[in-house]
Chain A
Amino acid sequence: MNNLLISERMISRLIVFSLVFPVIYVVLYYNELALFRFYPLVGELHLNIQPTTFGPAMTYYGWLVIAAIVGAVVAFAVPHRWALRLWAGWSWLVPLGATLFTFIYETRWLLH
């Protein structure tokens, strides 16, 4: 075991990060909120929506970056004793729930 290599406090941060990341990702994805958009046709990042001449916009990277930042901030902000109280099962139930939500939402491709 790697108990000596990684502190208990750091472990609780990892767990909180794993819980917060998918929730933030789903919120951003559902609301189409992205820190930036990448336009692969011109190979440029932009904070604002660009004209159609820039080609399709990719919001994926913007979601990932925000979710990672928020996840990290919350992981460091949550007191260690609170993190220890978390039920371990949330660690797989929350990501599974987030995935099921995206599955249901993406069925719009099948319905329209």
Chain B
Amino acid sequence: MIAFWDLVHALLAIGLLGAVTHQGLSVWRKPAPARAFIDRFRAVNGGGYANAVCVLYVLTFALGSFIYPQFVLDVKGSLIDYGMRKTIFLFQLKEHVAVTGLCLLPVYWHFWRTVPLTEDVGVRKYLTTLLMVATWWNLVVGHVLNNVKGLV
């Protein structure tokens, strides 16, 4: 059953990654006709993603917290036994980065949904970029760890 929840966690994370990457790249884009693929990818209305990003982040975080004990028992112990300290280092950071993203959400939501998009552009840009980087880091590290030793 834990493998099922792990899969759902990964699928939610991929959905989150798509939404926050669209939004994160859109804040760095200067208004211009979107011709190339990358420009079309980021020529989106970033504000439309904020609610989805918040909901997906909370769901992904909650599910990750739910399966975390199984990771501690099945994977982390083995990593320590095998002396894979770099891998543990990566996961420890994933844990903290996930919390960073979580505590960013209220203020991130505020700057996207209650502040006019013409104001506090820089703050919105850095908040979104930070959330995007956090999401990428956690998905990549989670994927690496899952390949190190899959959950039972």
Q: Which residues of A contact B (CB under 8 A)?
A: 1-3, 6, 11, 14-15, 17-19, 21-22, 25, 29, 38, 40-41, 43, 55-56, 58, 60-61, 64, 67, 71, 88-89, 91-92, 95-96, 98-99, 102-103, 106-107, 109-110, 112
Q: Which residues from A are CB-within-8-Å of B116?
A: 1
Selected from B88, B102, B110, B123, the residue in CB contact (under 8 A) with A11 is: B110
Cβ-closest 10 pairs across A and B: A40-B69, A14-B106, A18-B107, A109-B89, A21-B103, A102-B96, A91-B107, A92-B126, A88-B123, A109-B85
- Main SS of chain B's interface residues? helix
Q: Which residues from B are CB-within-8-Å of A25?
A: 96, 99, 103
Q: How far is the CB of B124 from chain A (nearest CB, A)?
A: 9
Q: Is the CB of A1 within 8 A of B68?
A: no
Contact with A along B104-133 (1 / 0, CB 8 A): 111101110111100010110011001000
Q: How far is the CB of B86 from chain A (nearest CB, A)?
A: 6
Interface band, chain B: 35 or more
Q: How far is the CB of B128 from chain A (nearest CB, A)?
A: 9
Q: Is the CB of A106 within 8 A of B92?
A: yes
Q: Which residues from A are CB-within-8-Å of B111?
A: 88, 91
Q: How far is the CB of A103 from chain B (nearest CB, A)?
A: 6
Q: Is the CB of A107 within 8 A of B89?
A: yes
CA distance A15 to B89 in the complex (A): 30
Q: Is the CB of B99 within 8 A of A11?
A: no
Q: Is the CB of B73 within 8 A of A56?
A: yes
